[in-house]
Structure 1
Amino acid sequence: MLAFLVATGRPHRRERLCELFWDQPDDPKAALRWALSKLRGVVDAPDHPRIVADRERVHIDVDGVEIDIRTIYQALRQHRVALDFGDLEAMAQQLDMVLLDGLDGAGDERFQSWLTAERDDARAAHVDVLRQLAAHPRGTPIAKEKWARLWRAAQPSGDAAREPPPPATPAADPRSTDPGRGSGKRPASVTARARSKAPRARALRAQRIGFCQARDGAKIACATVGSGPPLLKAANWLNHLEFDWASPIWGRSFATIARYRTFIRYDERGCGLSDWDVADLSFDAFVDDLEAVADALGLDRFPLLGISQGCAVSIEYAVRHPERVTGLVLVSGYAAGWRLLASPEEQARREAVMKLTEVGWGTDNPAYRHIFSQTFMPDASAEDLAWFDEFQRLTTSPGNAARFQEAFGHIDVRDRLALVKAPTLVVHSVHDQRIPLDQGRSVAAGIPGARFIP
């Protein structure tokens, strides 16, 4: 309600506020009075009450308060040509964030319609700012190239997509004599690694996180980001809805998917933002989590993305619900766990790792977690390995880390492969150190019509 009052900047009838935000309580007017009393304690100053309410109407006095979105709108209206380049960059950074993030579902359908319209206005302003940056005379060639690319990405079907790119600059001219220009060399400040993190940061800010409940009552955190047809990713351990975006393994891929799809992910029970304290940490429970997410989001027909043990979960779900799954993309997965296929020596090694996990996973010493990091990323830099070591510790508890490993060992969907009806693509790394290539090949061979790409 506070955001609504500030953003609209005008008085509202009490009845209107009750309809927007309190259609459920037995006494909406009492709920409004309670909310106003709480807001007064937050925003009122001793000599300046900001919540102004009488028997009919409520409004907030914002005199002397800078409201960033209003400041941006005013600047765009008053200074169409003379805006400073630095000011435009600051506006672009602010408008890249989701307006009033986290307020979806805070009111009734009319509030949601208002919120959608406000966000549409903010997106239009964002496109305008990016357009001005792409053509600004003070922009460097590299900066103009970046802003032009972002401008087109922000409005791919609008005027920006139909207009030609900005004129060629010395940066792209092979005849340039300026060192670093036209030579293919980029300054350290604009390395590919730095550029690749920008889409991930935007995706993290834009994603919506909610919760649903599995059949046994476990709360499952799920997130959506992007637009377009849905793609649901089955959870696999070592995931975290927020921290995944910085991952050197899959962060960039996730950001790319979100550019073309409504990308839906969730943290399975026992890790990430979902319930950690759960009695059942088994394969059937993992499938239940996937079912809960698909049902909660009202997904009728959709493709599934499975990675690692998420492949087996996706296969089982596709067999149970062939009418809902339009396709499977299975990456570095397996149909049977290590308890069923590994040699006695390999099983003994994995049991030893589980014991080490129980005693060392949550410690500050990353040596225990480093066992996993190096198998996931054998060629990673020391910086990326250190990040992944810490990421593992944050995803789950030591006890759950050991329980996950045991549960994965008992996975077996070999008898379900032939029952898959959906078109399937199986992708597997040739040099995967955790899951051998032959296991991916076996998955593809068992699913009718599956395509295998090593």
Structure 2
Amino acid sequence: MRHRDRIVPGKELLDTVWAGESVTAAVLTTTLRTLRRAIGETGRQQRLISTVHGRGYQFVAPTAVRPRESAPTAVAPTGSVPTAVADAPAGPGVADTAASDVIRFCRTADGARIAWAATGTGPILVKAANWLSRIDIEGTTPIFAHWREALIRDRRVIRYDSRGCGLSEPTATFAVDEWVDDLDAVAGAAGLDRFPLLGVCHGGAQAVAYAAHRPERVSRLVLNAAVVQGRLARARDDAERAAAALDMQVDLAGWHGQERSYLRFFGAQFFAGSPPQWWDDLTDYRQRTASAASGARQLELHSVVDVLGLAHRVSCPTLILHSRDDPRVPVSQAEELADRIPHSRLVVLDGSNHLLTADEPAWPAFLAELHAFLAEEEPGRG
């Protein structure tokens, strides 16, 4: 807006906004798309921000300039970092402060530093960490922005980065027991005794392991696109093992060498039902969540992880939701999981994405099932 009198080249935006960071041009495209969604316009209806092809972008809405008013200084609690501070007076169009993230840090039993955030108001919902995650930018990426917005609408949601991811401490080792320790530390820091737990994608393995090891703490369990057996772990013959190994080698080669076609191959497995832009969005998000070395080690762990044997120890009511044509994890995995968890119900969604997007029919169906299931334990909310 300060440069509304001219067209701002994309390179200038990249150099200014992401100064010192190693990002690709696709990050700018993703961010602008998220911004357009936030201000209520599309690529075709460019009422505020105009794309001048081959040259850059310009803020084109009528603008009035007024003196900047002083604003109170936001002070973060000890051990926390504010990630969003408003410098405008309260009123229409200003985000509710309850929806702002205040990121805090806690320590696990073995001393690892874990970043976590509590956002929104209402009954508690804990979301197990995804692979990969970075809680301070989830709200700005189309991959997870709609998840955050929908979950905090009438709940207080606890999210965190597991060790080696995002703002949590880098580590050289990864194990299922450490995932349990991470969530233990977050629950303790948040003052939680018993709570519903949501596990999405690779967070499903963490959620199942935690519910099995800490049955006294999990009141309800919700799993979506849960990876409870990595691709190598669930391979049944030489052909499937070879395919799983090749899949991992392609992704590792792409991550280490920044080979875009390899990285897109991985993204296509998460968003088979969405345009290629989503594949690039996932690539850019992943590269901002962990180093190549850390991401590679976690990828190797997730290829061999197997918590299916713990499923019979999950004693709380459990809702399992899975897209019918999920290309990353076959629906048969969800069926196997539902067969092993005693008090579980499986809902198969019509969709072909591994991670649900805001514009697919499976998304509102997922939210309806999620809220109805959680409301069963909340008097007056059913």
TM-score (norm 1): 0.56
Residues 420 and 106 of structure 1, relative CA distance in 2, 3 Å threshold: closer
The yes-or-no answer on 1:103 pairing with 2:76 is yes
- The one-letter code of the counterpart of 1:336 is Q
Q: Is the 8 A contact 1:332 1:435 kept in 2?
A: yes
2:153 to 233, 252, 259: 259
The yes-or-no answer on 1:355 pairing with 2:328 is no
2:266 to 372, 376, 381: 372
- The one-letter code of the counterpart of 1:331 is N
User: Which residue matches 1:415?
Assistant: 309
- The one-letter code of the counterpart of 1:305 is L
Q: Is the 8 A contact 2:267 2:278 kept in 1?
A: no
Between structures 1 and 2, the one with greater strand share? 2
The yes-or-no answer on 1:434 pairing with 2:324 is no
Q: SS at the partner of 1:395?
A: coil
Tell which has more relative contact order, 1 or 2 (C-alpha 8 A, sep 6+). Answer: 2
Residues 102 and 438 of structure 1, relative CA distance in 2, 3 Å threshold: farther
User: Which residue matches 1:305?
Assistant: 198
Deviations 1:370-419 (A, max 9, x none): 12211111232343332222112112222222221221233222332222
Q: SS at the partner of 2:203?
A: helix
- 2: CA distance between counterparts of 1:106 and 1:420? 34
- 2: CA distance between counterparts of 1:89 and 1:232? 43
1:332 to 209, 222, 225: 225
Q: SS at the partner of 2:288?
A: helix
Q: Is the 8 A contact 2:125 2:155 kept in 1?
A: yes
Deviations 1:92-112 (A, max 9, x none): xx99xxx644522389xxxxx
Stretches of structure 1 that go unaligned for 5 or more consecutive residues are 1-84, 108-118, 131-146, 155-201
Which structure's CA Rg is the greater one?
1
User: Which residue matches 2:209?
Assistant: 316
Deviation, structure 1 residue 288? 1.6
Between structures 1 and 2, the one with greater helix share? 1
Q: Is the 8 A contact 1:358 1:399 kept in 2?
A: no
- The one-letter code of the counterpart of 2:198 is L
Residues 282 and 90 of structure 1, relative CA distance in 2, 3 Å threshold: farther
User: Which residue matches 2:286?
Assistant: 392
Deviations 1:81-138 (A, max 9, x none): xxxx9889999xx99xxx644522389xxxxxxxxxxx9xx99x62xx33xxxxxxxx
User: Which residue matches 1:241?
Assistant: 135
- 2: CA distance between counterparts of 1:295 and 1:237? 22
Q: Is the 8 A contact 1:318 1:325 kept in 2?
A: yes
Residues 224 and 90 of structure 1, relative CA distance in 2, 3 Å threshold: farther
Q: Is the 8 A contact 1:328 1:424 kept in 2?
A: yes
Stretches of structure 2 that go unaligned for 5 or more consecutive residues are 1-61, 349-382
- 2: CA distance between counterparts of 1:280 and 1:87? 54
Q: SS at the partner of 1:260?
A: coil
- 2: CA distance between counterparts of 1:330 and 1:90? 50
The yes-or-no answer on 1:293 pairing with 2:266 is no
- The one-letter code of the counterpart of 1:384 is W
Count of equivalent residues: 281
Q: Is the 8 A contact 1:369 1:392 kept in 2?
A: no
Q: Is the 8 A contact 1:214 1:220 kept in 2?
A: yes
Residues 376 and 106 of structure 1, relative CA distance in 2, 3 Å threshold: closer
- 2: CA distance between counterparts of 1:226 and 1:90? 32
Q: In the TM superposition, what are the counterparts of 1:175-324 in structure 2 within 5 Å?
A: 206-276=100-170, 278-324=171-217
TM-score (norm 2): 0.65
